[in-house]
Chain A
Amino acid sequence: GAGVSQSPSNKVTEKGKDVELRCDPISGHTALYWYRQSLGQGLEFLIYFQGNSAPDKSGLPSDRFSAERTGGSVSTLTIQRTQQEDSAVYLCASSLAHGGGDGELFFGEGSRLTVL
């Protein structure tokens, strides 16, 4: 596709349920990032994938959060046993390889998660 595609755009779930958020990056982009943005706040880094390297999971807030990237393309962020504080917009971004340093991130429109 032309841009980063995320689904679902909106998800309402009950506390304790598991949710999966999907990200389809721009074709050819080897780097993929997940961020979380609470209402009116900045972007909180969650996880970063680069090619075949081990992902940087340093931003995942708890072991309820996990992500995988299959075939170097599509990524799924899974939140288990959701809590109300998980309510936020989850943004996915992709970029070209980071060698030059100036590889800007291209963001999707986000998945808005509401945990009741």
Chain B
Amino acid sequence: AQKITQTQPGMFVQEKEAVTLDCTYDTSDPSYGLFWYKQPSSGEMIFLIYQGSYDQQNATEGRYSLNFQKARKSANLVISASQLGDSAMYFCAMRERVRTGANSKLTFGKGITLSVRP
């Protein structure tokens, strides 16, 4: 089974509107972390936000927030007030066994392309 699932093929949003990018994950580990990265056309990978499985509150970073629903195993990224510069590929990723520290590679989803329309 895939660890990280991002099924939206491509998303379009009007500038200044909010958009939600979906991510579901699969793990039996009680301790894990979830990450979102942005990859613009230039190819660089930009870290956006992190959510730990034990965190009591949903993570927020500026215009980015994470809608973490643990029971549903979803970690959707919400971008508020979209800007043209938000057009990029967005990747959800997971790190398992956070507390033991073992096997802490990040497993990435296939990504979602977001296009912001002026």
A105: min CB distance to chain B, Å: 6
Residue in A closest to B107 when the chains form the complex, CB atoms: A45
- Select the stretch in A65-73, A80-88, A94-102 that faces chain B: A94-102
Interface size class of A (residues with CB under 8 A): 20 to 34
Question: A45 contacts B103, CB within 8 Å?
Answer: no
* A107-B45 Cα distance, complex, nearest whole Å: 6
Residue in A closest to B44 when the chains form the complex, CB atoms: A109
Residue in B closest to A4 when the chains form the complex, CB atoms: B45
The 8 A CB mask of B31-60 against A (1 = contact, 0 = none) is 111010000000111010010100000000
Question: A48 contacts B105, CB within 8 Å?
Answer: yes
Question: A91 contacts B45, CB within 8 Å?
Answer: yes
How many chain B residues touch A (CB < 8 A): the figure is 25
Given contacts A98-B101, A110-B43, contact A104 B35 (CB under 8 A): yes
B6: min CB distance to chain A, Å: 8
Question: A56 contacts B103, CB within 8 Å?
Answer: yes
* A59-B77 Cα distance, complex, nearest whole Å: 27
Q: Is the CB of A41 closer than 8 A to any CB of chain B?
A: yes
* A31-B103 Cα distance, complex, nearest whole Å: 11
A56, A99, A109, A110: the one within 8 Å of B105 (CB): A56
Complex interface: chain A residues within 8 A of B99 (CB) = 101
Complex interface: chain B residues within 8 A of A97 (CB) = 101
Q: Which residues of A line the B interface, CB within 8 A?
A: 31, 33, 35, 41-43, 45, 48, 50, 56, 59, 89, 91, 93, 97-107, 109-110
Q: Which residues of B line the A interface, CB within 8 A?
A: 31-33, 35, 43-45, 47, 50, 52, 91, 93, 95, 98-99, 101, 103-111
The 9 closest A-B pairs by CB, nearest first: A101-B98, A98-B104, A107-B45, A42-B110, A43-B108, A104-B47, A48-B105, A101-B33, A102-B50
